[in-house]
Amino acid sequence: MPEVAVRTEATLISSAQRGDRGAFEQIYRLHVGRVYAICLRLEADERRAEELTQDVFVRVWNKMGSFRGKSQFSSWLYRLAVNVVMEDRRTRVRRSRNETPSEDAVTYASGHVGRHTDASLDLELALRTLPSGARDVFVLYDVEGYKHEEIAAMMGITTGGSKAQLHRARKLLREVLK
Amino acid sequence: MKHDDVLNKLNEYLDGELSPAESARMNAHLEACPDCRAELEALRELMRKARDLPASVQPGRDLWPGIAARLEDRSVVTGDFRRKRTFSFWHNRSALAAAATVVLIILSVLGSLRPWEQEVISSATEQITVISTFAHIDRASDRVSRNILTRFDRHGNVAAMEANDVLTRNIGIIDGAIADIRSALQTDPTNTRLAQMLRSEYQRKMDLLRTVADLLGDDTDTGMNPTT
């Protein structure tokens, strides 16, 4: 990120922490694409991803005061986004709702795909075919770069479980992408 | 190293989780085995694609209006909750933000109240009106919560139970802040700032109860002014 942008974001964060909603909207504009990408890849459902993205930013607003600048704001924000998705997942499991991705999710392929190449679009679509546990770990490890220990803590599973899900995801994806 | 063993450990090999000795054995096998090399390359290609996915994907619509509306809802009660944050009690802001949720849920409950439900609410709010000390605030909030839950539970009003659940949770958050401050006061009893903060937390607790009471239709003075 250019230095000017960093300074600008620091100012925006400081203003948002003082309750400046305009500054917070600019923070939203800066990060919505990344947060939405995380939610979409984890959820494999466009509508749910939009709702979760909104949940994330409402949560961020409420937690702005707890951001102390010890880590990068983006790291803090994206981890919070993952946590929101995981909490939502656990809540839905408790309520025994059907987690099958909606038919609408397919529209993602023809809609707002940004700078996707054909190869990356294939992978995005292949991700949707994975069981949620395997998809979560693949997205968090291979796409987002978290460590197994971090993933285990976020998902409430063991490190070994995280590794097993990753290997399973890679195997399934290779079969789908052949 | 056997062929199948190598295939089974390709993921760990790529992720750098094998010991140096195991990695050396893997290297030796890979040099001699084109099938395993092909498998390894396929896995590398998949990981490369994963890393090359666009970091950002724009949603199909602007999500900000929905977010702004939710922030606006919360600001009805929270007001300028960011005014003072020199002391790191996150509870203050959380409690006030959550209080807005209580208000909204209770408002939705009020929209469909029957006469007998109004009576239950009046009974509950009467308990609030006699509160005058901090200890009474603690006890009264427990009673109000139990009263609403018990009565509505019998009649199966799920929305009211949810409202009570949120109220209970919010009171718990404020109580957590009170406990923190009391603990700090034990080690620093002459700290006037801590004393002010304790008073402020109780004031917030009363404000929350008073807001609930107002929404439940009781327009009398609750008399919940702090005495110390």
pLDDT tens by residue, B112-155:
555 555 554 555 454 444 334 456 566 666 666 666 555 555 55
CATH for A116-178 is: 1.10.10.10
Residue with tokens 């959380």: B94
Mean pLDDT, residues A36-48 taken together: 95
**C-beta separation of A31 from A81 below 8 A:** no
- Beta carbons of B53 and A123 less than 8 Å apart: yes
Report the residue of B39, B67, B91 to disrupt the A interface, i.e. the one with the largest count of A CBs within 10 Å: B67
Own/partner contacts of A107-111, CB < 8 Å, gap of 24 or more, are: A107/A46, A108/A40, A108/A46, A111/A46, A111/B60
Mean pLDDT, residues A166-174 taken together: 94
- Beta carbons of A54 and B67 less than 8 Å apart: yes
Chain B residues near residue A115 by CB distance under 8 angstroms: 54
Runs of H (alpha helix) within B15-157: 20-32, 34-52, 64-78, 91-110, 115-129, 134-155
Query: Which of the pair, A151 or B72, is modelled with greater confidence?
Result: A151
Per CATH, domain A1-112 is 1.10.1740.10: yes
CB contacts < 8 Å between A and B, how many?
113
Q: How far from B32 is each of B2, B3, B8, B162, B189, CA to CA, in Å?
A: 12, 10, 17, 66, 75
Report residue A89 CA to chain centroid gap. Answer: 13
pLDDT (tens digit per residue) in B24-71: 999 999 999 999 999 999 999 999 999 999 999 999 999 999 999 988
> Backbone dihedral region of A96: left (phi > 0), alpha (psi from -120 to 50 degrees) or beta?
left
- Beta carbons of B50 and A138 less than 8 Å apart: yes
- Smallest CA–CA distance from A49 into chain B, residue: B59
Q: How far apart are CA A121 and CA A127, in angstroms?
A: 10
Q: How far apart are CA B146 and CA B154, in angstroms?
A: 12
CB count, 10 Å around CB of A161?
Answer: 16
Report the residue of A32, A53, A171 to disrupt the B interface, i.e. the one with the largest count of B CBs within 10 Å: A32
Q: How far from B87 is each of A86, B37, B46, B206, B207, CA to CA, in Å?
A: 30, 59, 49, 21, 21
**C-beta separation of A151 from A140 below 8 A:** yes
- Smallest CA–CA distance from A110 into chain B, residue: B60
> What is the DSSP code (8-state) at residue A100?
P
Residues 6+ apart with CB under 8 A from A103: none
pLDDT (tens digit per residue) in A147-166: 999 999 999 899 999 999 99
**C-beta separation of A108 from A127 below 8 A:** no
- Beta carbons of A62 and B90 less than 8 Å apart: no
Helix (H, G, I), strand (E, B) or coil at A37: helix
Q: How far apart are CA A113 and CA A106, in angstroms?
A: 12
Q: How far apart are CA A108 and CA A47, in angstroms?
A: 10
Domain boundaries of chain A, sorted by first residue: 1-112, 116-178
Residue with tokens 């993921």: B11
Report the residue of A31, A60, A125, A142 to disrupt the B interface, i.e. the one with the largest count of B CBs within 10 Å: A142
Contacting B residues, span 93-122, partner chain A, CB-CB under 8 Å:
93-94, 97
Mean pLDDT, residues A76-90 taken together: 93
Q: Among B11, B12, B59, select the one facing A53 at the smallest CB separation.
A: B59
Most confident by average pLDDT, A72-81, A109-118, A169-178, B108-117: A72-81
- Beta carbons of A119 and B49 less than 8 Å apart: yes
**C-beta separation of B88 from A145 below 8 A:** no
Q: Is B7 on the interface with A (CB under 8 A)?
A: no
Whether residue B170 is predicted with pLDDT greater than 70 in this model: the reply is: yes
Query: Which of the pair, A98 or A158, is modelled with greater confidence?
Result: A158
